[in-house]
Amino acid sequence: MTYNPYFKSTADDSFGANFAVFIVKFNNQTIPYTQNFGTSTAVPTFTSTRATVSSIETLRNPFDESLTIGSDGKIMTPPGKYWLDGRLGMRNGTSTYNYQIGFSFGIGGYIDSLSEERWLRKQGVAYLEETVNRYIRKNVQCYYEASSSSSYVRVYHRRAYSSWPAGSNPELNRDGSSDFSTSTSYPYGATRLLVMRLE
């Protein structure tokens, strides 16, 4: 069928493109120091780098199946095509020495044809929503195709420096209300994974 950009929907197909939207939420966790962040293809083997899931919120799901929480931070994905958008929200430390340091952040996915989990995308992310040092963004975005009941995706994080001049330890999803004397629980922003099922 030739695609017609000016095609107007009728009552029969007025629902627009079919897609589902989920928001995956994560637990409070220390962002660990590890010597490596996997390889260019393989995800890290350190379990401390796995972001563990607290809950999954369904915003819209016209499909029959849903995401489920697996073990060790796995987000089980029914067979289908997905767009993933992860945001790393963290408390960096206790001092103002916070502009320089970035984090490693990435999303892995189980590849059936390889029978193993591989990177879908990884990159450095900044603490501040500002261009500093070499890091620009706080998000990792990628595409994934789940092909079996064992398909899953998983979010990884770490810091690349063993010492931490910003003080204390960086953490995911720390309740920062006392740090800021504010009623806002997460002034640092929360770590979230947006999952869109496209087909």
Partner 1 sequence: MTHRPIVHKNLKVMNLDVVYPTDISEYNVGTISQYYYYTARNFIGNLTDYNLVQHTRSDDTFELPAGRYIIRTVIPVHEPTNNTSFTGYVQWQIFSSSSLNGTYTASGTKGRSQPGYKPNDTGDNPGVHSFATAIIESNSTVYVQTRIIEKTNYLTSLSSASTDQGQVIIWRAD
Q: Which of 91, 122, 158, 174 binds partner 1 (CB under 8 A)?
A: 122
Distance CA 170, CA 47 (A): 17
Distance CA 55, CA 51 (A): 12
Do 117 and 144 touch, CB atoms closer than 8 A? no
CB of residue 25 to partner 1, shortest distance in Å = 23
The two structure tokens encoding residue 151: 């398909």
CB of residue 153 to partner 1, shortest distance in Å = 11
Tell me which stretch binds partner 1 (CB under 8 A): 11-19, 62-70, 162-170, 176-184.
11-19
**Closer residue to partner 1 (CB): 78 or 175:** 78
**Closer residue to partner 1 (CB): 85 or 175:** 85
CB of residue 83 to partner 1, shortest distance in Å = 5
Q: Which of 55, 57, 60, 143 binds partner 1 (CB under 8 A)?
A: 143
Nearest to 43 by CA among 148, 113, 116, 102: 116
Within 56-85, the residues that bind partner 1 by CB under 8 A are 81, 83
Distances in Å between the Cα of 39 and the Cα atoms of 42, 78, 122, 129, 198 are: 5, 27, 10, 27, 29
| Rama region for 73: left / alpha / beta (φ>0; ψ in -120 to 50; rest) | left
The two structure tokens encoding residue 89: 């929200």
Judged by the rule CB under 8 A, the positions of this chain that interact with partner 1 are 3-7, 10, 12-13, 16-19, 40-41, 81, 83, 99-100, 109, 111, 118-124, 128, 130-137, 141-145, 196, 198-199
